[in-house]
Structure 1
Amino acid sequence: MDVHVRGGPAEPFLGARDLFSTEHDLDRPVTVRIREDPDERTRVSHGESGHRLTISRQAATSAMARELALHEYAHMHHHEREHPSHTQSTREAIYLALAGRSVERRKLTHCYQIANHMKDVYADDVWMPVVPGDKLVPFLEASLAAAVADRPGEPPSWDRAGSPTRTRRPSEPAARLTPAADPEITAVNAAFALALCERHDLVDEGDRLYDLAHAAAQDATEIRLTEFKHHFASLSPDPDESEFRKALVDVTRAYAVSESGRAAD
């Protein structure tokens, strides 16, 4: 694997490269660009000449930097090998699922986030057998605890794997500059976190993550936590294009459409 790091510490990304290459490889070079902006979300682009990972310095120097790099390398791996989760048009599948229905904009936005969770499941299937996921559980627990504690009207927005992008400090005023996070997608994020940990045998039944997920579900009675956990945890390890499309359509309808068949309001 050919990895070039610009603008910050190279060690987490080169260390992740060395670990990743023990089991997998990338055909195209990777350029990592580290930005000073702490709000810079991790972004990956793909081209014939290579992959580009843009990440904030805060994330690149965090305790999860190596695992984050491994996760993004796994996305690149699936992209190169045309894994159905990474070639299927999310827009196409969502519109197929919701054809003829009227759906709120917030619900539609959440459907795209859920589709990204499904991609993440397959990316984590690649890197987790390479490195123990012992850092992931406390990370997910802390993220979910912050979200549950910051219910409306002061919940944080969620990033990849349920990470809150911002939490109010005690000295800050209660007024928000951004909309409050939706309890329904928070509950789905909790289901994703549980599914990910169960899929890779990272937690026991008594783990704190279950209590936190239950608390998140109580704030969103329309969301069936067990159902969404099953959607993520039961994804086929090696789906064909049709199988993955059906899974994406099913989870989209489960979230955006009520049991009566009308779009959820």
Structure 2
Amino acid sequence: MDVRVQGNAIASPFLSAVDVFETEYDLEKPVKVHVREDPDERTWAAHYPTHHTLNISATAATSAMARELALHEFSHMARYEQGHPSHLQSTEEALFLALAGESVERHKLAHCYQIANHMKDIYADDITLDLAPADKLVSFLESRLAAAVADRPTAPPRPGSRLATAGSDPEITAVNAAFALALVERHDLVSREHRLYDLARVAESDAPSIDVRAFKRRFRTLGPDPSESGYRKALVDATRAYAADRGA
């Protein structure tokens, strides 16, 4: 597995992630790591004919989560190389199918992309959590959800965020809570007394129009090996459940 860290970034977290990843998986294409001077704690993967790119903010690259974030993005790359429907399905196509004839506010459309990202994350984390302990991930989910429910929104989330922060409105925060619960239940990571459940109840109370249990079920029960049409239907249905007949 060929990983090249570009610039002056510290390479050790990424090389450590490679060591963990290679115990069970490999990538055919090389990976170029770009550390960006971005104040947000964001990571995202991009795929090209000759290589993958791991984009990561400088803040994230120097955080305690750097190795785990890199491992998560390697898992996205693996899903892409596997030809998994979750990573080949065009989000734009699915949203067009789901929202044809609907009038949807721009920020809600951004939320639909966030939901599509969550569905991809479920499949990437099926790999990630097969390789590494979940303690840091659970703490990360808890802290991000706590931040989101503590403050009122100022702007919609930026693409690439694993969970929305205080910049998200209560409705997408409730969906994000459903995602967090779905992930920990899918992998049996915490008990029902965990603080995530308390935070999810607060998020749900702030957004009574969102059925948190229904969204949790959608994320948690995604089949491991869906057909292209089956995955497309799941994404279309999730989009409609959030946005259809709710736009301005």
SS of residue paired to 1:120: helix
> In 1, Cα distance between the equivalents of 2:41 and 2:140?
19
What's 1:63 paired with?
64
What's 1:183 paired with?
170
Verify: 1:5 aligned to 2:10, yes or no: no
The answer (yes or no) to whether the contact 2:98–2:239 under 8 Å persists in 1 is: yes
For structure 1, the 5+ residue unaligned runs are: 168-179
How far the C-alpha of 1:263 sits from its partner, in A, is: 3.9
The answer (yes or no) to whether the contact 2:44–2:73 under 8 Å persists in 1 is: no
Quickly say closer, same or farther: Cα 1:155–1:245, change in 2 above 3 A: closer
Larger Rg: 1
1:118-139 CA-to-partner distances (Å, cap 9, x unmatched) read 0011000111111111111111
What's 1:200 paired with?
187
What one-letter code is carried by the residue in structure 2 that aligns with 1:3? V
For structure 2, the 5+ residue unaligned runs are: none
Quickly say closer, same or farther: Cα 1:74–1:210, change in 2 above 3 A: same
What's 1:245 paired with?
232
How far the C-alpha of 1:160 sits from its partner, in A, is: 2.4
1:203-240 CA-to-partner distances (Å, cap 9, x unmatched) read 10110000001101111010011001011001001111
> In 1, Cα distance between the equivalents of 2:155 and 2:191?
27
What one-letter code is carried by the residue in structure 2 that aligns with 1:185? I
The answer (yes or no) to whether the contact 2:110–2:156 under 8 Å persists in 1 is: no
The answer (yes or no) to whether the contact 1:103–1:256 under 8 Å persists in 2 is: yes
> What RMSD over aligned residues (CA atoms) do the two structures have, in Å?
1.8
Aligned length: 246
Q: TM-score, normalised by structure 2?
A: 0.93
The answer (yes or no) to whether the contact 1:191–1:213 under 8 Å persists in 2 is: yes
For residues 56-135 of structure 1, what are the structure 2 equivalents within 5 Å?
A: 56-135=57-136
What's 2:218 paired with?
231
The answer (yes or no) to whether the contact 2:27–2:77 under 8 Å persists in 1 is: yes
What one-letter code is carried by the residue in structure 1 that aligns with 2:4? H
What one-letter code is carried by the residue in structure 1 that aligns with 2:72? H
How far the C-alpha of 1:157 sits from its partner, in A, is: 4.3
The answer (yes or no) to whether the contact 2:107–2:156 under 8 Å persists in 1 is: no
What's 1:170 paired with?
none
How far the C-alpha of 1:40 sits from its partner, in A, is: 6.9
> In 1, Cα distance between the equivalents of 2:77 and 2:157?
26
Q: TM-score, normalised by structure 1?
A: 0.87
> In 1, Cα distance between the equivalents of 2:199 and 2:155?
14
Aligned residues with identical type, % of pairs: 62
What one-letter code is carried by the residue in structure 2 that aligns with 1:189? N
Instruction: Pick the structure with more helix per residue.
Output: 2
How far the C-alpha of 1:99 sits from its partner, in A, is: 1.7
The answer (yes or no) to whether the contact 2:36–2:56 under 8 Å persists in 1 is: yes
SS of residue paired to 2:145: helix
The answer (yes or no) to whether the contact 2:85–2:231 under 8 Å persists in 1 is: yes
1:42-88 CA-to-partner distances (Å, cap 9, x unmatched) read 23221122111121221111111111001100111111121100111
What one-letter code is carried by the residue in structure 1 that aligns with 2:16? G
> In 1, Cα distance between the equivalents of 2:104 and 2:37?
38
